[in-house]
Chains A and B, each alone.
Chain A
């Protein structure tokens, strides 16, 4: 039913399964190796559940040295390796192939050092995103990147995908908050890159490792920047009768010199679905913005007043200010429930294209036209401040052909984002989901330069080999 191809498993690898599993078991102990078919099935997919394939084996080491041992063995047997954090990727970044060994960081889950005086924390990468903040919040600090899966997703995956979140406009994404890693190469060498200091001594290898989707090595420890928690934060909700006006409002706020910590956008389809589910009491408008600012009470009041003034000049349908923690929570309630609410009424495919903020209005209009052309509804809920759109294409997974239609519409929307000066993926990563669209954003030469980096780190192309680059582009390197 799917339209994204994966390479045929290599027979030479499959035929040596027993040897490979024996070597892994001998090196790591039986409790770290899963090879029974009934059990490997638990690792057959990640958050992109339309694509599934159980791996040959799964390895869950307790230590960095264990990861190194596992990679050495995979390297020796020339087995493809699928690095896996918590398996929440929406892009298929952790999708196995039948001839692969999944190397997971789930058991690397210790906080190693919390140093608030120097504003850094060192963790093993199997810890969840939210638990990093949990480790320092009593001391008044937090870890800024906050993907919506933060309760479940692991730092390992955040680093691999350079994850973002709702508050990137002010605080940046993972790469801006990552100072150092302990990194295992495909041949099992353990490297220390970066540390608690703020820049690289030579070439910025850390910068290219972050976001390389598990194709350069496996990160087992990370030094992360932590930030002091703001004194407070409060949102204002603004409703408009046209998406264009909402787009103008976003640009005007940004131009005014205010840097909100988040600007979120929802369209009518999303508002209706969400409101029914969450009871947040949102106005029934074409476009809704939630703009949040931080600081002391007085600072918040001052900034919100400026924002409201900008909004009022554009003749909004509704402006709803929050005066208390409860009112603030009510404004956020619907937005936070949006994805769950949409999932309740429909299957959906969540896109992740990013466009220049100046192109938001025109892209929204064209998404509407494409959606009508394909006969599939498309709801919009996204981070407007940074142009990171998340169109949700609604379809029925039980309806034969519907997934393919949704994928076709998704591809057109992503091409539209690229044409508007944007990109295929703002925070989810390419994985397999956007792999075959890479040619719309990058030329052969552009991709050649990226693949040259992988050649240097992983000459045999064993790490997550069938991801990121279209199969025909990487074929020669994968020995396909």
Chain B
């Protein structure tokens, strides 16, 4: 049976890591446990849970800043922000539907995995909202980087390095985030029946317009058939104006439907959480591409791996569901991405498959060396989620 440590304070978390390092006991770092199935399976002797290290430590709506302990549930953060009419601009995905996991997602895990959503095209990724961090390295030393101000170029930006390191460089204990006003109104213009190429073109036209499109996605199947979604947010008058202009811009691309209200929220939640691929047994890949390359890559994956694709970020993000296979069709995925640039991550597959094929895009030799060297420096005993990102 695995031992679970759930320390409530930063010093206790540091003690726990220090002891694990001394004993050579690898730790699985865990927030709410909803994203544990991302990455390579980890062989660990104990679990370090951040669930007890929780709470918002500072929230200044007038300074657009929120600081929270890593184990703070997302629901608590979202509620506090909503009460002031604000939000996390990067719209983090909830992985529970896709991975079929349970638990309460935490802010620490969102940062550790650099989780973003549809609004990334306009407001940046999680890493772009991250202002500062406190963390414990693999030797049990408490450190900080950045702070809680909007602009900070004092010393190196380790926040970016730790954001998306899946806990392999340090255990995050506190994160400081830029927050933004939540829009007064939101509206989506939907085009029907476009193929991927026409959809990506339409999304490029919209994202290249001054109308501040905050989401551009294309759903290929489902009950309603293919739908290309363009979201506009802002004050009432802005949304009205932008919708009008955008409709004019989209003229000739088919009928434009306006979606608002409850259906609007549900639709973007479905895009954010990749709901069309929830609840089945297929392996799911996440591809990051130059948007214009997406239609050709998707077509190739359809032919070679039987993939169904859906498109977010104007085509810059492609989710591909492939039929069950021992290698999750990795060779086809890697070849398609190698031809265009970009990368692919195996987000959902049985543990045996994730152990057998590289989950993250294999890096060029020197970049892999640099990553390895960084991990060796930040986690010399190799106790923090060892092997989660790379063997």
Query: Are A199 and B288 neighbours in the complex by a CB distance under 8 Å?
Result: yes
B209 located at the interface, meaning its Cβ lies under 8 Å from any Cβ of chain A in the complex: yes
Looking at the assembled complex, report how far the CB atom of A176 sits from the nearest CB atom of chain B, in whole angstroms.
Answer: 5
B336 located at the interface, meaning its Cβ lies under 8 Å from any Cβ of chain A in the complex: no
Given contacts A387-B151, A452-B377, whether A197 and B145 have CB atoms under 8 Å apart is no
Can you report 7 A-B residue pairs in the complex whose CB atoms are below 8 A from each other? A191-B366, A197-B343, A211-B153, A212-B157, A295-B238, A295-B241, A450-B156
Report the Cα distance A423→B290, complex, angstroms: 35
Looking at the assembled complex, report how far the CB atom of B61 sits from the nearest CB atom of chain A, in whole angstroms.
Answer: 5
A430 located at the interface, meaning its Cβ lies under 8 Å from any Cβ of chain B in the complex: yes
Query: Are A208 and B151 neighbours in the complex by a CB distance under 8 Å?
Result: no
Which residues of chain B (127-167) have a CB below 8 Å from chain A? Answer: 127-128, 137, 141-145, 147-161, 163-165
A66 located at the interface, meaning its Cβ lies under 8 Å from any Cβ of chain B in the complex: no
Looking at the assembled complex, report how far the CB atom of A426 sits from the nearest CB atom of chain B, in whole angstroms.
Answer: 4
Query: Are B154 and A201 neighbours in the complex by a CB distance under 8 Å?
Result: no
Query: Are A173 and B288 neighbours in the complex by a CB distance under 8 Å?
Result: no
Looking at the assembled complex, report how far the CB atom of B198 sits from the nearest CB atom of chain A, in whole angstroms.
Answer: 13
Q: A173-B151, A189-B366, A454-B156 are in contact. List 17 more A-B contacts (CB 8 A).
A: A191-B366, A193-B367, A196-B342, A198-B125, A199-B116, A202-B367, A210-B157, A422-B149, A423-B154, A424-B154, A426-B149, A427-B151, A430-B154, A446-B143, A446-B145, A446-B155, A447-B155
Query: Are B149 and A421 neighbours in the complex by a CB distance under 8 Å?
Result: yes
Q: Which residues from chain B contact A27 at a C-beta distance below 8 Å? A: none
Contact of A357 among B62, B147, B154 (CB under 8 A): B62
Q: Which residues from chain A contact B363 at a C-beta distance below 8 Å? A: 201-202
- In the complex formed, the residue of B with least CB distance to A206 is B160
Looking at the assembled complex, report how far the CB atom of A132 sits from the nearest CB atom of chain B, in whole angstroms.
Answer: 17
Looking at the assembled complex, report how far the CB atom of A100 sits from the nearest CB atom of chain B, in whole angstroms.
Answer: 21
B47 located at the interface, meaning its Cβ lies under 8 Å from any Cβ of chain A in the complex: no
Stretch of A54-62, A149-157, A252-260 contacting B (4+ beta carbons < 8 Å):
A252-260
Looking at the assembled complex, report how far the CB atom of B175 sits from the nearest CB atom of chain A, in whole angstroms.
Answer: 15
Contact of A198 among B61, B288, B341 (CB under 8 A): B288
Q: Which residues from chain A contact B65 at a C-beta distance below 8 Å? A: 356
Query: Are A254 and B62 neighbours in the complex by a CB distance under 8 Å?
Result: yes
Report the Cα distance A302→B316, complex, angstroms: 33
Contact of B154 among A434, A453, A456 (CB under 8 A): A434
Given contacts A202-B389, A456-B373, whether A427 and B153 have CB atoms under 8 Å apart is yes
Query: Are A421 and B164 neighbours in the complex by a CB distance under 8 Å?
Result: no
Report the Cα distance A210→B364, complex, angstroms: 20
Contact of B208 among A117, A201, A457 (CB under 8 A): A117
A329 located at the interface, meaning its Cβ lies under 8 Å from any Cβ of chain B in the complex: no
- In the complex formed, the residue of A with least CB distance to B157 is A211
Query: Are B153 and A172 neighbours in the complex by a CB distance under 8 Å?
Result: no
A231 located at the interface, meaning its Cβ lies under 8 Å from any Cβ of chain B in the complex: yes
Query: Are A207 and B127 neighbours in the complex by a CB distance under 8 Å?
Result: yes
Report the Cα distance A116→B205, complex, angstroms: 10
Query: Are B156 and A208 neighbours in the complex by a CB distance under 8 Å?
Result: yes
Report the Cα distance A300→B154, complex, angstroms: 35
Query: Are B152 and A116 neighbours in the complex by a CB distance under 8 Å?
Result: no
Looking at the assembled complex, report how far the CB atom of A283 sits from the nearest CB atom of chain B, in whole angstroms.
Answer: 25
B237 located at the interface, meaning its Cβ lies under 8 Å from any Cβ of chain A in the complex: yes
B194 located at the interface, meaning its Cβ lies under 8 Å from any Cβ of chain A in the complex: no
Q: Which residues from chain B contact A427 at a C-beta distance below 8 Å? A: 151, 153
Query: Are A205 and B164 neighbours in the complex by a CB distance under 8 Å?
Result: no
Given contacts A430-B155, A441-B154, A445-B141, whether A198 and B316 have CB atoms under 8 Å apart is yes
- In the complex formed, the residue of B with least CB distance to A442 is B155
Q: Chain A: interface residue count, which band? A: 35 or more
Q: Which residues from chain B contact A254 at a C-beta distance below 8 Å? A: 61-64, 181
Report the Cα distance A115→B182, complex, angstroms: 31
Q: Which residues from chain B contact A302 at a C-beta distance below 8 Å? A: 235, 237-238
Query: Are A228 and B62 neighbours in the complex by a CB distance under 8 Å?
Result: no
Contact of A207 among B85, B116, B160 (CB under 8 A): B160
Looking at the assembled complex, report how far the CB atom of B1 sits from the nearest CB atom of chain A, in whole angstroms.
Answer: 32
Number of interface residues of B (CB under 8 A): 83
Q: Which residues from chain B contact A421 at a C-beta distance below 8 Å? A: 147-149
Contact of A205 among B137, B143, B147, B367 (CB under 8 A): B367
Q: Which residues from chain B contact A428 at a C-beta distance below 8 Å? A: 153
Query: Are B152 and A172 neighbours in the complex by a CB distance under 8 Å?
Result: no
A36 located at the interface, meaning its Cβ lies under 8 Å from any Cβ of chain B in the complex: no
Query: Are B157 and A175 neighbours in the complex by a CB distance under 8 Å?
Result: yes
- In the complex formed, the residue of B with least CB distance to A452 is B377
Query: Are A354 and B157 neighbours in the complex by a CB distance under 8 Å?
Result: no
Query: Are B204 and A202 neighbours in the complex by a CB distance under 8 Å?
Result: no
Query: Are B210 and A229 neighbours in the complex by a CB distance under 8 Å?
Result: yes
- In the complex formed, the residue of B with least CB distance to A231 is B210
Query: Are A387 and B150 neighbours in the complex by a CB distance under 8 Å?
Result: yes
Contact of B345 among A116, A201, A438, A452 (CB under 8 A): A201
Query: Are B154 and A199 neighbours in the complex by a CB distance under 8 Å?
Result: no
Q: Which residues from chain A contact B114 at a C-beta distance below 8 Å? A: 199-200, 204
Looking at the assembled complex, report how far the CB atom of A7 sits from the nearest CB atom of chain B, in whole angstroms.
Answer: 19
Query: Are A197 and B289 neighbours in the complex by a CB distance under 8 Å?
Result: yes
Contact of B150 among A140, A168, A211, A447 (CB under 8 A): A168
- In the complex formed, the residue of B with least CB distance to A306 is B235
Contact of A356 among B60, B184, B342 (CB under 8 A): B60
A1 located at the interface, meaning its Cβ lies under 8 Å from any Cβ of chain B in the complex: no
Scoring A358, A430, A453 by chain B CB atoms within 10 A of each residue's CB, the highest score goes to A453
Query: Are B241 and A299 neighbours in the complex by a CB distance under 8 Å?
Result: yes
Query: Are A162 and B153 neighbours in the complex by a CB distance under 8 Å?
Result: yes
Given contacts A251-B62, A257-B181, A257-B184, whether A228 and B153 have CB atoms under 8 Å apart is no
A369 located at the interface, meaning its Cβ lies under 8 Å from any Cβ of chain B in the complex: no
Q: B378-391, CB under 8 A of A: which get 1 and which 0?
A: 10000000000110
Query: Are B367 and A426 neighbours in the complex by a CB distance under 8 Å?
Result: no
Q: Which residues from chain A contact B159 at a C-beta distance below 8 Å? A: 207
Scoring A116, A198, A204 by chain B CB atoms within 10 A of each residue's CB, the highest score goes to A198
Q: Which residues from chain B contact A357 at a C-beta distance below 8 Å? A: 60, 62-64
Query: Are B63 and A358 neighbours in the complex by a CB distance under 8 Å?
Result: yes
B180 located at the interface, meaning its Cβ lies under 8 Å from any Cβ of chain A in the complex: yes
Scoring B158, B161, B360 by chain A CB atoms within 10 A of each residue's CB, the highest score goes to B161
Given contacts A195-B341, A254-B64, A357-B63, whether A203 and B164 have CB atoms under 8 Å apart is yes
B44 located at the interface, meaning its Cβ lies under 8 Å from any Cβ of chain A in the complex: no
A425 located at the interface, meaning its Cβ lies under 8 Å from any Cβ of chain B in the complex: yes
B349 located at the interface, meaning its Cβ lies under 8 Å from any Cβ of chain A in the complex: no
Report the Cα distance A196→B152, complex, angstroms: 25
B207 located at the interface, meaning its Cβ lies under 8 Å from any Cβ of chain A in the complex: yes
Contact of B377 among A255, A426, A455 (CB under 8 A): A455
B319 located at the interface, meaning its Cβ lies under 8 Å from any Cβ of chain A in the complex: no
Report the Cα distance A120→B208, complex, angstroms: 11
Looking at the assembled complex, report how far the CB atom of B46 sits from the nearest CB atom of chain A, in whole angstroms.
Answer: 24
A101 located at the interface, meaning its Cβ lies under 8 Å from any Cβ of chain B in the complex: no
Looking at the assembled complex, report how far the CB atom of A117 sits from the nearest CB atom of chain B, in whole angstroms.
Answer: 5
Scoring A258, A449, A453 by chain B CB atoms within 10 A of each residue's CB, the highest score goes to A449
